[in-house]
Structures are given as C-alpha cells and as structure tokens.
Structure 1
Amino acid sequence: MTIQFERRTDRPDAAGRCAIHLRAYFDGQRLRFATRERCFATEWNADKGCFKKSFPGYQDANDYLQALTERLQSRYRYLRTEGLPITVEALKAVLQPPAQAPTVVVETPPLLLDLYADYQAALQARGNLKQSLVSVGNTRAHLQGFEKSLRRKLVVADYDVAMHDRFLAYLRQKRQLAQNTVCKSVKHLKAFLRYVREDRKMPTAIESREMKVQWAEVDKVYLTATELAALESALLPSTLVATRDAFLFCCYTGLRHSDLHELNTANVQEWDGSRVLRLTQTKTRTAVSIYLTPPAAALLDKYAGTRAKLLPAFTNQAMNRNLKQITKLAGLRQAVETVSVEGGKVVKRQQPKHDLVTMHTARHTFAVLSLMRGLPVAVLQKVLGHAKIQTTMIYAKIVEDFQHQEMRRVWEGGNTPAPALALVNPVCQIEAAA
C-alpha cells in the first residue's frame, strides 16, 4: 500500500486555501479521502506531503495526517491477515470520524469574581455613591489577589468557612492590613453574599453569622482648645494660610472635607440676624443645619468674592500634607501614643501630634470641644448628621479633660460648681432649636 497527501488546487475557498486529500494505492485500487484540512500554498510542503511551520498549529495538523496513515495501514493489514475482502469502502470506514455521543450540556457555575462584578454593577444601578463603590471595589481587588495566591479561580460554593479563614489570613499576614480594613472587607463580603442568596437565588457555603469580626477601637485625634488657639495665631508661609483657614472652618462647623469642597453661596442663609449653613452631606445624604459662629463667619467674609467656592478646598491628600507642616509650625509636637495590631501583636508607638492631624481631625475637634462646652449629645448628633446616636457617643468617651475636671471638682473641690466651659473661646456653636 502506498499513501500520499496532496494539496488540491482545483477548488480553493474564498480566502484562497485549498483542501488536503489523502490518496492510497493498493492491490490495483485507489482510495481518495478529504482530510478537512485547508492551507495556502506557502504553508504546504509538496515534496514531503506535510504542513510547513508557517501553518498555524502545524504540529497538530501533521500528527493528524500521521494518525490517518497509521489507521489506514493497520486496517489494511488486519483485513489481509484475516482473509477478508479489501475494498475501498472497508478502508475508508476507518478514516471516518467516530460517531459522536449526544452532547450533554453541563452548566458551569459562575465564578466568584464574575458574580462580584455583577454585584458592583447592581449597586451602581441602585444609586450607591461613588465613595461607597470605591470601597466595594477595594474588596474585589483583595479577592483577586487572594485568588492569585491560590493559583485558581473560585466559585461561590468554594467560599466556605475554611476558605474565609484563609482569606482573612491573606489580608492580615500577606497584605498586612489593619484590623478595621479587614473588617471593612468582611462587611462588603457579607453584603455581596446576601446579594447572591436573595437577589440571584443561589446557595452559598457560608452564613453571615459565621463571618464575625471585631472592629478595633481607634483613638480619634482632636485638638484641644489651647492647640486650636495656637493654630489660629500661628505665623505661616502664605502658601499654607488657605489650608489652615479651611481646616479652622471645619473645626468651627464639623464639616467633612467632601462637604467643604462642595460649599456654595446657596448653602449660606440668614437666621435670626446671623448666618447658618444648610446643606446635604455628601457621604450620608443627610440634611444638616449649622450655626456660623463669628470666627466661622469671619472666614467666609475673608474669601467672599475671591473664588468660585466659598472657601479654599484642594484635594484631601494635598490638604493633609499641608496640615502636617502647619501643625508642626504651630507647635503641636506633643507625643501621642498610637496602638495597632500587627502580626497578632499589640504594637504601641510614640508619634508627634502634627504627624497624625488630617482634615478629618477638624470634625473630631468640633465634636469634642462642643461636648466640653456642654452641648447635649443629641443635639451634636443632629449637627454631625449621624444616623445613630451611638456613633456620636464615641466622642463622649474621649472627652478626657471634662472627666478629669469633674473628678477634681468632686474629690478636691467639694460641691464647687463645674467651670463654665461654654464661655471659653466659644467657636463651636450651633443653631438654636426651633
């Protein structure tokens, strides 16, 4: 038996590729078989009867031609040995592809990260704020890194209690994230799995109650009345004055940087011969009303008509960098102990206070000084826009000066009335209740 492969040039396809045929000669008979392979002339070695390296997947294609040769020769020898008729039909049958069994479609479960992407899209469609979506996206980035460390893709059924513990270990040990950052990722995971169960009607391998985490109490840095006064009177380079003024305004009103950045003339309204700020907070979409004390009003007047915004507001990162220099020049060098958990150990560090001050320190300062001046916690809750009074109560726990003064009054001064703190440098006030 002689077997050859040839490129038929009589019937090229639209692209110019021609079919490859098998020709076999045996016992005075001739067999021709279409291999279903096609190629260009530059991809075929006519002398050797095989594909050139320029043909995509040439090795697999040549292996296929070799397999056809071996099957045909094996069949020819078998028929000859058994004394059976050797016909073209008998040999061609061995070259035909085997009949395929009915295709069974097996539904592949969606990947965990694909479902998480659907969850992000659903949150965006439902009107979640950009800041919240960024935090949700950070958790997805952590999951991607976790999958990369596992060297495999996860489906929802893979994420059980054991896998959750491995994810926590990855966040703490490999990424070395702080406890509250880990807690934030767990919070987003809980919401995501609830979306999978309730919205997508898919079973999950872990329940929310099995994903418990303990939020760490973080010491809130704030300025004392003395430090605030030092900041107000500090001599600064002209390039830093605008940042200092914006920070002071937040100390007088409790505004976040995001709200300061969006202030415009429509937010300033008349009230009982004075002015108040009325705005909807960017973070919580809560409406608040804040009385502008004389120092706060003076800062508005200082920048009135000089810019599109009511007050100078650069990016949060730029203002935080400036604040480190400003508070250092103002003499805020007192050592502050910071406590963190690293590698399962409690780590304490001493840092100068000016290294810890950020724009959000202004909001803490307003809250603490307001409580020290006797502002009721329930009223402070309304000014800060907190949905729960428990959030505001955190500030009540850190008013150490007030605690010390009360203890000194009780233990050393008998029934001496407490000092009238509300009369000292009254920069943190609010609009009176209607």
Structure 2
Amino acid sequence: MSKISFYIKNKKTHTTLYVRFSVKRGVLFRKSTQLQVDPKFFNTKTGKLKNLDNYTGGIELKATMEQLRGHISSYYNSANSDGEYLDSKWFGGVVNTFFNRVGDNKLEYLEEYAKHYVEKLPNNRNKNGTIGCTRATIVKYNTIHRKIVAYETSREKKYKVSDVGSDFRDDFLSFLIEELNFGENTAGRYIKFLKTVCLNAKRNGVRVHHQLESIQGFIKKTDKITLSFKEIEMIEKTVFEDKNLSVARDWLIIGCYLGQRVSDLLDITTDNLITKSGHRMIELTQQKTKKRVSILVHPKVEGVLKKYKGKFPPRFRESIFSNRLLFNEHIKEVARLSGLTEMIYGGLIDKSTRRKVWSNYPKYKLVSSHIMRRTFATLFYGDIPTALLISVTGHSTEKMFLQYIGKADIDYAEQLSKYWKVGNSGD
C-alpha cells in the first residue's frame, strides 16, 4: 500500500522539508520541496508538525503539506490506472508541478517528452495486466515524434508541452495538411496521438495547457469496404490457374468467417484447432491486443480445411512480413479475376507521393487483407449478438466496434425492430 510522508535532514533553523513516497515494498521515491520548516515544530518520528498554536505560519504550512499529499496521490492514481512506468523522474516531475517549478527538466519540452514517451512504451502495463506494447504502437509514436521535430524545424521554435492548446493544434494541423500534404484522416489521427502524449506528460507531473482536454483528434467518415455474401460466392466459384492465387483465395475465405487481423490469420495452424462440447473451435491469442479468443469453425472454413486434408492452406513465404505482403498482392488479383470490378469510392496510396488519394476505383483495387475482419463484423452484425461478435474481433468496446463497421447508435432501432417483428410474427 502506498504511503506519503515528510522528513528533514538536519535540525538547522528553517531547514528544507522533504517528501517521501513509498509505492510498495522496495519502491521508494524522495524529493525536496520548496517548503521550509522550523525543526522545533516538526516531529521526526511521525513526520508531522507539532505545537501549531505556538508556530507562526504553522497552520498554513500544514495545509500546504496536505495539499501536496493529495496532489501526489491524484497523480499516482491516474498513472497507476493507466499502467505508466513510475521512476524518480516521474516523482520529481509531480512535485515540481505542484510548486510550478520547472528547473532544468527537459521533459517539459514537447519533442523531448515525445521521445521519452516512446522510450518508456516497452515498460507500460496494459489494462489486461501484460507489460509492453506492439511494434506497430512504437512505430506510430515514433512517427508523431518525427512530425513534432519537423514542425519545430519549420517554425524555428522549440515548444513546451504546456504550449499545446487550441492555437497550437490548429497550426500543427495546418502544417500536416498543407505543408506535409497529409490526408485529413491521417492528420486527425496525429492530433489524437499528440494529445495522448501530452496527457501522459500531465500524469507524470509535467505542466500542460488548460485547453488540452478540449483538443480532439478526428476521422472523416468514409464508406467501409467489405465483401457481400454474393461476392464471397463469386470468389469461391472462380477457378485460378495460378496456385498462389488459389491459396490466397482460400485464406481470404477463411478470413471472412474468422474475423481476425491478417497478423493472426496467417499464423493459424492445426495446433489452434480444439474441440469443446462437441464443437470445433479455433483458439488463439491476438498479437495486437493479447486477448485470448475462441472462434467456432464455420462450415465454409471446414470446407477449405477439407480441401487441404484437414490442414490450413500453405504460406507463400517463411518470412511473416513477406507472407503478408504477397497475400495482399494476390487477393487484389483474386478479386479482379472474380469480377469485383464495380466502381466504388475509396482511398489508394499514390506510390510517387506516398499519400492516399480518394476517388472512384474498381473495387478489386481497394481489396486488402483488412477487408476480411470488417466483412465478418459487417455481415453478421444484427444476426449474431454484438457481444459475441466483439468476443471474436477483439474490439475493446461496443462503441469501437460500431465505429469500425460504420454503424451509428440509431442502428439499435433497426435491430430492435427486427427482433420485435420476429417476436410478433405469431400474433
């Protein structure tokens, strides 16, 4: 159990008061404060003031000590609930924040803190109790760090975390869109990542702008690209002369009925197959979320397994990265040969600019490995309880799931109407 106490190092007149924070056995932080105390009125055994009636300014000092105690507890509770890595720098920052003391703390600077945030990611404790993060998360926040560096270079100014208010947000967004030519969705996500870094700084004792909480990232709503049952059937019935395309088609079908990310899908083997209560299941731990999921094997998946004598289709390459890359290339050709040529609106990366360009394209060009998980969630939404779908896709909340498939809260009315019609069909 955590404990906050005060102590002094000598008995000189008006000596410095120190604060000690014991998080748990073996984890102890100490920091000097700006407070001065007369040793005659300080009990070294209890760490509290004494004889306040005779101590001029003692009541005010006691109140300040209690405020500091509450300040530390508040920051600790926030950091602990979010799984932040606690060390002496964190504690020093918390105490400095209480006294609005900057000193030579370089972590008050935005670029420095963004770099620090990335360095500490491998030590973070996740909500499910695990430690660390995915490579994708590290890449994501390394990217926002580089964009902050580029922004400061462009503006010829070094910013502090406390500068990140609405004016900073607007200018940083303009920089991303107008000067770096990022799409609105990409820029909106970077604003979200920037806020995450700054909120982390706040929890670690760094002073932030009073407008920080009101800053919001954003995503411009676009149509979600999915496959229909009819399109899946078209893909199933297409005959491919190229063996790689046939294998890619089979993985694509499996993916549409398992609802997993490609990083998990292509790693599935017969070792993941189990039987529970007479039902064939696939059990795996998702790489991104570290969640353990169980998925009932759909008859369509059983059909593919039967084709490969009870096994899953082969890989294209031993390298995980190469395997996913080739799979993405192959399924576009699978979709083209299967007749998915309808013109639809979507975004494609321009290879010369490396930016996404939104326009009307033949659907097969917009097909990627991500389409499988979204297809699964979309096709079965409304027919299977949402909680069961979420248990398979691994989304953290129902709100995230609905955003993922492009549904709004109003869709609940449609679902309820469907169930009521079913329930009243015999009246």
TM-score, length basis structure 2: 0.61
Aligned twin of 2:110: 112
The Cα of 1:304 is off from its aligned counterpart by 5.7
CA contact (8 A) 2:316 2:323 kept: no
CA contact (8 A) 1:168 1:182 kept: yes
CA distance in 2, matches of 1:379, 1:307: 24
CA distance in 2, matches of 1:375, 1:173: 44
Aligned twin of 1:171: 176
Aligned twin of 2:398: 389
1:180 aligns with 2:180: no
Aligned twin of 1:124: 122
Which of residues 182, 202, 205 in structure 1 aligns to 2:209? 205
Range with bigger deviation, 349-358 or 271-280:
271-280
Aligned twin of 2:158: 153
Paired amino acid for 1:117:
K
Aligned twin of 2:143: 138
Deviation track 1:77-112 (CA, whole Å, cap 9, x = no partner) reads xxxxxxxxxxxxxxxxxxxxxxxxxxxxx8474543
SS in 2 for 1:366: helix
Which of residues 361, 365, 371 in structure 2 aligns to 1:361? 371
CA contact (8 A) 2:164 2:212 kept: no
CA contact (8 A) 2:343 2:361 kept: yes
CA distance in 2, matches of 1:379, 1:117: 39
CA distance in 1, matches of 2:315, 2:299: 16
Distance 1:125 1:328, change over 3 A: same
The Cα of 1:299 is off from its aligned counterpart by 2.2
The Cα of 1:160 is off from its aligned counterpart by 4.1
CA distance in 2, matches of 1:157, 1:203: 6
Distance 1:286 1:308, change over 3 A: same
Deviation track 1:121-163 (CA, whole Å, cap 9, x = no partner) reads 1112221222211111111121122122123433334444323
Supply the RMSD in Å over aligned alpha carbons. 3.4
Which of residues 384, 388, 394 in structure 2 aligns to 1:379? 388
Which of residues 277, 293, 299 in structure 2 aligns to 1:294? 299
Distance 1:309 1:113, change over 3 A: farther
CA distance in 1, matches of 2:105, 2:203: 20
SS in 2 for 1:331: coil
Aligned twin of 1:420: none
The Cα of 1:184 is off from its aligned counterpart by 2.0
Paired amino acid for 2:379:
L
Aligned twin of 1:318: 326
CA distance in 2, matches of 1:176, 1:150: 17
Aligned twin of 2:336: 328
Aligned twin of 2:228: 224
Number of residue-to-residue matches in the alignment: 295
The Cα of 1:189 is off from its aligned counterpart by 1.5
Distance 1:244 1:356, change over 3 A: same
SS in 2 for 1:289: strand
The Cα of 1:317 is off from its aligned counterpart by 3.1
SS in 1 for 2:381: helix
Q: Over alpha carbons, which structure has the higher Rg? A: 1
SS in 2 for 1:277: strand
CA distance in 2, matches of 1:339, 1:358: 12
CA contact (8 A) 1:240 1:326 kept: yes
CA distance in 2, matches of 1:337, 1:292: 33
The Cα of 1:272 is off from its aligned counterpart by 3.7
Query: Could you tell me the percent identity over the aligned residues?
Result: 26
Paired amino acid for 1:282:
Q
CA contact (8 A) 2:304 2:312 kept: no
CA distance in 1, matches of 2:360, 2:401: 27
The Cα of 1:120 is off from its aligned counterpart by 0.8
Paired amino acid for 2:302:
A
SS in 2 for 1:358: coil
CA distance in 2, matches of 1:303, 1:246: 12
SS in 1 for 2:266: helix
CA contact (8 A) 2:327 2:369 kept: yes
The Cα of 1:328 is off from its aligned counterpart by 0.6
CA contact (8 A) 1:264 1:309 kept: no
1:191 aligns with 2:196: yes
Distance 1:255 1:120, change over 3 A: same
Paired amino acid for 2:239:
L
TM-score, length basis structure 1: 0.60
Aligned twin of 2:276: 271
1:240 aligns with 2:245: yes
CA distance in 2, matches of 1:204, 1:328: 52
Distance 1:185 1:382, change over 3 A: same
CA distance in 1, matches of 2:245, 2:324: 14
The Cα of 1:257 is off from its aligned counterpart by 0.3
CA distance in 2, matches of 1:306, 1:389: 33
Paired amino acid for 1:123:
L
Distance 1:159 1:375, change over 3 A: closer
Distance 1:107 1:295, change over 3 A: closer
Which of residues 278, 286, 296 in structure 2 aligns to 1:281? 286
Range with bigger deviation, 298-307 or 329-338:
298-307
CA contact (8 A) 1:146 1:167 kept: yes
CA distance in 1, matches of 2:198, 2:273: 43
Aligned twin of 2:167: 162
The Cα of 1:229 is off from its aligned counterpart by 0.3
SS in 1 for 2:374: helix
SS in 2 for 1:285: coil
CA contact (8 A) 1:263 1:309 kept: no
Give matches, 1:55-66, under 5 Å: none
CA distance in 2, matches of 1:204, 1:304: 60
Range with bigger deviation, 149-158 or 130-139:
149-158
Deviation track 1:54-75 (CA, whole Å, cap 9, x = no partner) reads xxxxxxxxxxxxxxxxxxxxxx
Range with bigger deviation, 235-244 or 355-364:
235-244
CA distance in 2, matches of 1:279, 1:336: 34
Range with bigger deviation, 152-161 or 316-325:
152-161
